[in-house]
Structure 1
Amino acid sequence: MNRTDTPVTVIGLGLMGRALAGAFLKAGHPTTVWNRTASKADQLVAEGARLAPTVGDALRAGSLAIICVTDYQTVHALLDASDVELDGTTLINLTSGDSAQARETARWVEQRGAHYLDGAIMAIPPTIGTAEAVILHSGPQTNFEAHKSTLDALGTVTHLGADHGLASLYDVAGLAMMWSVLNAWLQGTALLRTAGVDAASYAPFARQVAAGVAEWLPGYAKQIDSGSFPAEVATLETDARAMTHLIEESEAAGVNAELPKLFKAMADRSIAAGHGGEQYPVLIEEFGKPRTD
């Protein structure tokens, strides 16, 4: 059952912070806001929000506070102010950062008597308040469950686990997927443009290929988790020969070949280590270790 009478505080009113506060207001939650530049709260105040004069005052308005600011250094600076009392507060930090910062901030906040969840917003501001907005949370599940009905106002909220760093790790893992897909599409687009094919013509085919590859992921995940990589579809050596073809085609067309050369270099190292007869996910061994040169 969704409770709409739970008071919420939102600290930080950039584009995302204003979207978060707006979603709480729309859902009927009494909403207190604070921002260093107070004028950014004008529209929210007009819609019914209360503007707090200080961070400390904002936190005293209720037991649930969302903070979404520039970085973790700003989080610490704001919460370390003399009038801030965190004891008994549940603080949900939706500021972008890395997993080490998330874990350290959790310790820092919990030492001051607060409950803490770290989070990551996998959405753009206009989608906040809709199911399209995916918001990840990590930290004690009891903290999440206690406020899930309130957080549901923001979109599709998910709890990942007790490790406070998980939301940040999922965030960057998602970015790795996004940039990899986009860069692969740009590589193909650059190749086809040399033959007069425009990006709009290629995009539907590329989308079909991306969706097909996505269907492989559950099966490949089972291989990775089991540590066994039988060649059910193709061997890594077969894939490596196709990579060579992509490199040669790119270079012949005058298209940048750095990306396929990276693929090939990683495959070559895995083959040299004796994995050429296994399936593509065996490359997890290369992704799982840093380069030493």
Structure 2
Amino acid sequence: MGDARMTGAELDRLRSFRVLAEELHFTRAAARLHLTQPALSQQIRALERQLGTELVRRDARGCTLTEVGRLVAAEAGRALAEVDGAAARIRAAVGGRDGRLRLAYTRSARGGRVDALVARFRVLHPLVEVVPETAWTAPNVAGLLSGRFDAAFVRPPIDEPSLVCRHVDSEELLLAVPEKHRLATHRRIHRADILGEPAVMWPRENAAGMYDRTIAQVWPDGGFHLVRHEPDDEQLLRAVAEGAAIAAVPAGRARALKVPGVRLRRFAAPTPTVDIALAYPRDTTNPAVHRLAALVR
């Protein structure tokens, strides 16, 4: 009865027999199954031929089960529960309502639209197990290529043809300066104001595309004077607070950290920006990934 190779017709016979075993009346069972009584009788006879034994005895009040019939009814209930449960799990997975999503965040883009997007996904697909990690763009991309992650938030541009990269949001770059710096009182910072100023940045290998784009927008005419590397945004802003250097930082992260001794100033037009995107393998078959990507669109 638990044979996964049962045909559709055999499953139909078991379903019909299970209902008959509950009703012990052909007319009522046929009505529940939306069958005619002769059609139900035909299915039961076919099941008896298949098993080579009598399952049901008719009487004046309806029918009774034979000893074997009672055993078959119990086994049919278990077998059909397994089949129905498996079918429900498959439908849920195909619909993105079940399964697993190994999702990597990028350190510089927590909060804002990224967190709102994942929160929305969790509400719509509560049965999907989201397994989060946080790293920089470069290790996130490496994790996608190795199969460690199903999807990841990254700072584009990234040059990986095997990955889809969907734009999620754009974020303004601000200039972080020490509170006693000559530029701390300026409302808007012009590019010429910072030529040759000592600057602190995170390592380029964390996210090469974002690193190069930042320098191209903030120091378009050259004059980028790097004096120090720091591993993340918080340490970068602490270096600024010490008076060691200035730094170009994404607005959301910088404002959320609120490091004492740092003043955040906007640039004069054109406003420099960096992007955040959702990346995932182009050939992914994980339905949860496609559901998350659909929310981005």
How would you bin the TM-score normalised by the shorter chain? under 0.3
TM-score normalised by length of structure 1: 0.24
Q: Which has the higher strand share?
A: 2
- Bigger-Rg structure (1/2): 2
**Using CA pairs below 8 Å that are at least 6 residues apart, which structure has the higher relative contact order?**
2
Structure having the higher helix fraction is 1
